Amino acid sequence: METMSQLSFARVYTLGKVKQSNEAAWDIKPNGFNNTIRWNVGHIFVTMETLTQRAIPSYEPIHAEWIPLFVPGTNPDQWEVEPPTMEELVEALENQPERIKAVLANNLENSLAEPMSIGKFHQMDTVEALVQFMVWHEGIHSGIIHALNRCNAE
């Protein structure tokens, strides 16, 4: 269950960084950055949803309509639809961990139907390994949100 505690801890940190941000800066992409605060927040949410579905194939992602906006390789410059508001994204982030933990907590020892690889050196075979990746991934993007907050404050 420590893995699930780490998931909660990561989300508390993320929400802190998100709530420190100025809404007017959510769509600013400073030089040297590929994406915005809005994109990173949506990406954290969508990644947890899609990886949960990978772990539990019967899981139906919440806000599936957001997936095309925030999957890897996307960029706000390419959006042809109105993205979710700050309020919608913050609410989604706040509600997600308990729902995801309820789905995954009793399945941590299970093998993934299809292992997930990152490059040729790292393979995840269990639900727990995938949840640990979610935590790491969220930390990376929370750090980017923190950096964007600092850039946008200048």
pLDDT digits (tens, 9 = 90+) for 21-57: 999 999 999 999 999 999 999 999 999 999 999 999 9
Task: Give the separation between CA 47 and CA 34, rounded to whole angstroms.
Answer: 17
* Exposure string over 39-52, b if 16+ CB within 10 A, otherwise e: bbbbbbbbbbbbbb
Instruction: Please calculate the CA angle 133-88-129 and round it to the nearest 5 degrees.
Output: 10
Digit-by-digit pLDDT tens for the chain (154 residues) are 698 899 999 999 999 999 999 999 999 999 999 999 999 999 999 999 999 999 999 999 999 999 999 999 999 999 999 999 999 999 999 999 999 999 999 999 999 988 888 888 888 999 999 999 999 999 999 999 999 999 977 6
Residue 1, pLDDT score: 60
CA distances for 28 relative to 2, 38, 70, 76, 102, angstroms: 36, 9, 16, 10, 35
DSSP notation for 58-127: T---TTGGGHHHHSTT--GGG--SPPPPHHHHHHHHHHHHHHHHHHHGGGTTSEEEEEEEETTTEEEEEH
Domains of the chain: 2-153 (1.20.120.450)
Q: Which two tokens stand for residue 22?
A: 């100025």
Residue 154, pLDDT score: 62
User: Does the pTM exceed 0.75?
Assistant: yes
